[in-house]
């Protein structure tokens, strides 16, 4: 079961991971996009990481909503509204929860990922963050359905996300700036799928 502190730890851990990998993310984005994904995500996530110090949150959902709004305002690129939507939707099913288990988190994760799909209108294979998040969600639900607890289910999700991320390399981008490149986007890992994997991996480390 994860409490507010664990969720705050998820965000700070993720912020650190993103900051550590910011240059890599930017490099990936330079190959097929506009070379700003690393700096955008770093700016957004570090703003989120400071939230816990700036404000006392009374609940998990209030905290996650604030994270979502912060991303919307600070990321700047398309990841802002996408991840912003993810966290805002994630917060919904967790309203009034003080301790979150595998079942509840599964519902929240589904709402969050569906939010991203609705916002970005992406499909599997478009070479986007959804290509990492979708297998992660499936793996999480499968594990949770089989009786795994939150930590184990997230471990499964993180592995699936990484596999999904790696699978984006041979894909042809069909969304965002990368779509202008068409076939030339083949051979590059998608930066969005990469940051999404970092997000899930951070969850696996902290939400226990």
Cα dihedral 91, 94, 95, 99 in deg (nearest 10): -130
Q: Rule CB under 8 A: is residue 123 a binding residue for other proteins?
A: no
**Minimum distance of other proteins from residue 39's CB (angstroms):** 9
3-state secondary structure of 2: strand
Q: Which stretch binds other proteins (CB under 8 A): 6-14, 81-89, 97-105, 128-136?
A: 81-89
Q: Rule CB under 8 A: is residue 80 a binding residue for other proteins?
A: yes
**Minimum distance of other proteins from residue 101's CB (angstroms):** 29
d(CA 36, CA 75): 10
The residue within the footprint of other proteins, chosen from 9, 13, 40, 197 (CB under 8 A), is 40
d(CA 95, CA 92): 6
Q: What are phi and psi of 2, to 5 degrees?
A: -115, 135
The single residue listed with the structure tokens 């990936």 is: 28
Q: Rule CB under 8 A: is residue 38 a binding residue for other proteins?
A: no
**Minimum distance of other proteins from residue 25's CB (angstroms):** 15
For 32, how many CA atoms within 13 A lie in the half-sphere containing its CB? 28
Q: Rule CB under 8 A: is residue 112 a binding residue for other proteins?
A: no
Interface with other proteins (CB under 8 A): 36, 40, 69, 72-82, 84-85, 119-120, 176-177
């Amino acid at each position: 079961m994860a409490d507010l502190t664990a969720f705050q730890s998820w965000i700070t851990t993720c912020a650190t991971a993103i900051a550590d990998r910011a240059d890599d993310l930017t490099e990936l984005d330079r190959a097929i996009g506009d070379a700003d994904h690393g700096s955008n995500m770093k700016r957004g996530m570090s703003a989120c990481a400071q939230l816990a110090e700036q404000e006392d949150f009374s609940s998990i959902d209030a905290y996650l909503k604030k994270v979502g709004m912060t991303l919307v305002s600070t990321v700047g690129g398309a990841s802002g509204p996408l991840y912003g939507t993810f966290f805002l939707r994630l917060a919904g099913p967790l309203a009034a929860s003080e301790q979150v288990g595998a079942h509840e988190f599964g519902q929240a994760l589904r709402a969050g990922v569906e939010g991203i799909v609705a916002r970005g209108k992406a499909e599997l294979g478009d070479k986007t963050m959804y290509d990492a998040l979708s297998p992660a969600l499936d793996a999480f639900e499968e594990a949770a359905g089989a009786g795994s607890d939150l930590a184990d289910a997230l471990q499964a999700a993180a592995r699936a996300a990484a596999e999904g991320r790696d699978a984006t390399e041979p894909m042809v981008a069909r969304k965002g700036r990368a779509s202008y490149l068409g076939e030339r986007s083949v051979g590059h890992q998608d930066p969005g799928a990469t940051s999404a994997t970092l997000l899930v991996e951070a969850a696996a480390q902290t939400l226990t």
